[in-house]
Every structure is written in structure tokens, then in C-alpha cells.
Structure 1
Amino acid sequence: MNLVLLDPRQTASEIWSISAKRQLEHLRTHVDVQVGDTLKVGVREGKRYLTQIVNVSEQQIQLKALHEEAVPAKLPVTLIVALPRPKVLRRLIMDSVTLGVEKIILLHSYRVDKSYWQTPFLQQLSHYVDLGLEQAGDTIAPQIQLHKRFKPFVEDVLPTLITADRPAFVAHPYVTEAMPVAIDHPCIVIIGPEGGFIPYEVDLLIKNGCQAVSLGNRIIRTETVIPYVFGRLFTL
């Protein structure tokens, strides 16, 4: 935790309060906070501050703002990814948020097990978003959308997201065109499920304005390919 994320209601007065059990345990066990220590604090969907601790008790830690700090810039990326296995989903959300993705779309496809849409983790996404924000020192959560029907999304929604200045790249190992390097404009990145998109899905994506591009002939896991793609496309 590199930032303590607070609800705006916790910062309504001059003295702010940290009372969430998870945050208190972390600050006491791993940081050993004391009165007078400074602490980086962010307000959800708001600003980030350097604060000073003024009181520590069993129930809460109280602090006051010293000065405002810059919030890290977002990556100008919309990440569209076929819904992965639940355990992978947790890491994917946290890592994507930590890297600064602007928008995340979880999509069904032929090789996505329908049972994945029943996982309780989908009801806990905000928790993993918070963990990613705290890791990155960020305060602004990405938009997250769920689309359970592949064809209607690709034909009706995706074309409205693609523009000349925001191309869509589908990571696909069986094409010759290489994924771009060090671009200076927004983009859409589309990642398939374990085993990849089936040919019909790739063809439909291309038909609706996407560029199929390769990262080489190695087949990479979903949780590995996302940071690799972002590191290739942008200077992080």
C-alpha cells in the first residue's frame, strides 16, 4: 500500500480519519505509524495529499493534510479482455489499474467458460480496483464494463470506440504484422482468452475496424501479456 485511499466523506473536516480494518492493520503491522509521521493519502476520484498523523488509537488513525501532490497520469488505453479465470481476474484488474488503464471491458468469447460469469469476484471488482490504486498511488478508478455477448459488442459497441486517432489492436500470434512500438496516441488493446480467439472472432474484429497484430510466436498468458503490451506501446 503506497497510498491510503479514503472516501470523500472521511475528509469533510480539517482532521481526517482512517478507520477501515484492512488499512489500519496494514499501517500498524507493516508501516508502524506513529504520531508525527507523514502519510500519502488519496481521496477517491479526487486529489492526493501528503498528510501528517496527529493521533493513533485502536479504532482509528487521525491525520491532517499538509499539501497536495500530483496524481499519476493515466495510460490512454481502453483494455478489452476476454473474461479470464477468476483467480487470474483478480490479478488482471489490480495490475491494469496499477498501470493506469483508463477503461477496462470484460468480454465473453467462445473459449470463455460460462461459469466464469458467475464468480463472486465480479461483485468484488471495486475492492481489487482499490488495491491497484493504492499500489500505484492513484485516486481515479477506471471505468469497468461487462459484455456477455461477443457479436453484439463487436458489431454495435466496438466501432463507436474506434477512431482514426484511437486504433484498436488485437493481440494475435498467427499474423505477420508486428504490434507497434512507442506510440504517442490513445489506443484500444484487445486480448483474447486462454487459447486465443477462434478464427471467426478474429475475422469479426478485423471486419469491424481492428488491426490484428503479433507479439511474436510465443503464446503468452493473459496476466503476462497485458503489462508486456503496455510496456511495448508506451513509455511507462
Structure 2
Amino acid sequence: MSIQPAKSAPQPVVLQGRYVRLEPVAAHHAADLFAISAGAAAAERYRWLPSHPPANIGEVEDWIAAVQDGADRYVAVIDQASGRAVGRQGWLRVFPHNASIEIGGIYWGLPMARSPLATEAFYLFARHAFDDLGYRRLEWKCNNRNEPSKAAATRFGFRFEGLFRQDMIVKGENRDTAWFSIIDSEWTALRGEFERWLAPDNFDAEGRQRTRLAVR
């Protein structure tokens, strides 16, 4: 049977969810993205990114201008309740001819912590890749020492594929890269579980989950 490529690379579209909205990152997001990148806690969250926390809004504006002209496709994560950008994420390693794509460049600010926002931000990306664009493979990669990222990949249903030893030098340090993936044959069951978990009746009046995401 002939295997078809993906329909296209991701285009600059808006993906609407219940809790978040994903929209192409633009200059007007700079102030919000800078606000969630300030402080000691935010600096620690930059520990595993190739860049350092921005020193001012101008550096965020420069980053936005650079990625708008680059091969990767970044979006801002907008909190539907506040209308503010509370994170960003990107499509990396986009190979429509192989129907393979990566979610990466993720910085989810503290306002997204312990809330459904991060889970829905991931779900909207995965649903768009598999259901709308026809990708067969969604990748997640991280520094092998980044335990929170590896835990997030497992929670979202990715399967560990292996370790690329001495893969990169990042900020003057060795990076062994852990590779994870979800493939299209796994997505149908995962999609149903994400939709169940994200439903309003799974959260109490304080926004706390009633049941955990069960992808295994």
C-alpha cells in the first residue's frame, strides 16, 4: 500500500481550545512573553533551552523577528480567560514528505503550571498534526538530564525511543538527547483520553482535576 506524505507544513493558523488559543507568535506578544520570563523561577525554567532568559522586551522582539523568518513555526499560547500570552511552543523538524514533525522550543510560563492550559496546548498541536495535516509521527526531544520534560513526554503518551549520546553542545555543556514519539496508530486512543481529561466536568470549582490523565 502506498504511504502518503502529510498535506503540508503547518500554516499560520489559529487553533482554538477551551482554555487556551494558539496563534502565530507576533510582536504584540513580546510584553507578555517577557513578563513570564522574568525572575529566578523563570530563569530556572530556561535551564534546558538553548537561549538565556531575555534581559528586556527588545530581546523578545528580536527573538520573535528571528523565528518569524526561520524554518521553525512558533505560536504563542494565549490564556482564554485573561487574553494574555502565557507561553510559546514551536513546530520543529518539519518533514511533510515523511509525515514527521516535532513539537519543541517549549516555554510554558508559571501561569500555566498545575492547570489544564499546558495539556490543552499540547493536545491542540497533536490534533492539528495528526487529524488536520495527516502526519504519521510526532516527536518530542529533550536533554536527558531534563527530568521534568521527560516526565511531561511520558504523561502525554509519548514512547521513549532511545538516547543520542553527545548529540549537542548547548551553553557549553554536553547534551545527550532523549527521543520520544507518538505515531498515528496510537493517536486515536490518546485523543479520546485527552478530550475526556480536558472536559469541564473533570475539574472542580477551584480548577483541580478530579481524575488524572491516563494514557497507558
TM over 0.5: same fold? no
Q: How high is the TM-score relative to the length of structure 1? A: 0.25
Q: How high is the TM-score relative to the length of structure 2? A: 0.26
